[in-house]
Structure 1
């Protein structure tokens, strides 16, 4: 059994506690939160008020579900103790802090993962499998919409670092490359000093065009990813974990008024059926397997750092064509 510790028992930490207590091959050995386990997320599990106590208890790996500003100091404590770590996204509050975490884990040969959970949504997992199999052919564009009401629990970052990093990460993952250019328009409409609406456009190094609408101002919640390519378009709804394929048509149009339009034609629409496990369970299984056998599948610290670089480029204003260095 792999002994895993959990640091932070807030909104996300409670979910980690629930999944870790039932994950095959894993024992939730200890938890840590200065406020205690007020929600009863881990009854009977040894509880410590600080990270040092959890480290002293003895764990092989740890999940860090604390506010973003604490990711670096907590992550560094774990690295120095030789403990593999899963750090909730974003990797850190800024690129410099993220780089120090990458270096600390790499120099000690430790597994480090970042909690970009959208990659593990069943709809996106199935979409990635089909893209890798060549079902869409060449990818032309990836567009995302991630909109909804403001979550009161988010106080330390704006919408770009919180929600936007999901879309930047999943786009690079689905598109198979990093950003070459990225521009944005943003607004601060509700909170002082933190953007709550942003529109992002970009281009990956392999020339895939990207568009992302992200806000905390919409009365409806929306989580949609559309990938358009040679064979048609996939639409993934990660709220319902549904994946639909809109195929380019091959039937000739007999109606003259419609035939005058050039471009692709409407074809068959297919909604796929596939298993839909809980994304957090799949994500933590990937972390477990990476430690056990070096299995691929986690969002690495390096991946998380590239995503944070893209987010900072977005926040800091439009980039000059070609000036954004995704490396």
Structure 2
């Protein structure tokens, strides 16, 4: 296949995420760059050719050959109108997470993509993190035996880029999607607490506990208040625990063991399950965003669509996020089964 046969991708929004999509589109040999749209211009100098930066989507679509696909990296509340315009023009869409600001808007995005026959996917990029992919493969392969718990921690300082949503729909949607993916079942119920400590309309801390439909428990801790950045996911099972540090793309396995304490009953009681060997795995590391774009482009060419996050899965995550907020507001556990259908 010649370079002119490669799919042409555009970026809508050149902010914190869009600028990185633009960088990859301009350098990755699996795709071509069709231009970018941002009414504020290219403030991060992400586009090499300034003539390819447009103020409006109409300008991009009328500038010449239409893109084959577009990355939608605008504020969440603008996803639906942008996707509607792109789908009407026959442009496939990779939509930055969360899929939409509300369940109703997420359903509308699904409907408009189906109406115009375009492929849509959601950019839950953590699924492309090499440590998490390796972790999931090992869990599905039975390394842990029966799985008890999926736990995530995503904390750090406030990101000034966020204006339109709180920590639940921005950061915690990463974790809610990961719980479903790593837990291998939809989330069944949630109980949540939130905090508002920064004087904003939206919450800046959330604690979520719950269960997925196969009975596994989960908990997630997410905030914009912690002065150091932590991204940690662990899966606990009968044979030990897998722990992923997704900032470093490192994966560790902590095995259970049965080691006698040599007639020292106090120490045996204190330690409980004996600590076994700890293994740090060697993992091939590639930039998750590049992998995400490559796999989306491959789907456009007919590859296995299960490699990308479907619009239906994106809808499911938005529904769970709304249930988390409802639980925090009511102080009660909220059931989700069938709520996103």
CA distance in 1, matches of 2:24, 2:333: 44
Mapping of residues 68-147 of structure 1, within 5 Å: 68-147=76-155
The answer as to whether partners of 2:70 and 2:93 remain within 8 angstroms in 1 is: yes
Report the alpha carbon displacement of residue 325 of structure 1 after superposing the two structures with TM.
2.5
Report the alpha carbon displacement of residue 67 of structure 1 after superposing the two structures with TM.
0.8
Match of 1:159, SS state, is coil
Q: What is the count of residue pairs matched by the alignment?
A: 327
Mapping of residues 48-67 of structure 1, within 5 Å: 48-56=54-62, 57=64, 58-67=66-75
Match of 1:293, SS state, is coil
Instruction: Specify which of 211, 222, 225 is matched with residue 230 of structure 2.
Output: 222
Report the alpha carbon displacement of residue 221 of structure 1 after superposing the two structures with TM.
0.9
CA deviations 1:135-158 (Å, max 9, x no partner) are 112211011111111111111100
Alpha carbons of structure 1 residues 29 and 252: separation in structure 2 relative to 1, 3 Å: same
CA deviations 1:44-91 (Å, max 9, x no partner) are 252221112222331111111111111111011111111110111110
Instruction: Specify which of 283, 304, 326 is matched with residue 314 of structure 2.
Output: 304
The answer as to whether partners of 2:253 and 2:279 remain within 8 angstroms in 1 is: yes
CA deviations 1:269-300 (Å, max 9, x no partner) are 00111101011111111111111113231111
Report the alpha carbon displacement of residue 133 of structure 1 after superposing the two structures with TM.
1.5
TM-score, with structure 2 as normaliser: 0.91
User: Is structure 2 residue 47 aligned with structure 1 residue 37?
Assistant: no
Mapping of residues 1-327 of structure 1, within 5 Å: 1-44=6-49, 46-56=52-62, 57=64, 58-254=66-262, 255-260=264-269, 264-295=273-304, 296-318=306-328, 323-326=335-338, 327=340
The answer as to whether partners of 2:324 and 2:334 remain within 8 angstroms in 1 is: no
CA distance in 2, matches of 1:316, 1:275: 40
CA deviations 1:192-240 (Å, max 9, x no partner) are 3210011101100001101111111111111111100121101101111
Structure 1 stretches of 5 or more lacking a match? none
Structure 2 stretches of 5 or more lacking a match? 1-5
Which one is further off, 315-324 or 185-194? 315-324
Report the alpha carbon displacement of residue 261 of structure 1 after superposing the two structures with TM.
6.0
Match of 1:203, SS state, is strand
CA distance in 2, matches of 1:235, 1:202: 20
CA distance in 1, matches of 2:248, 2:20: 19
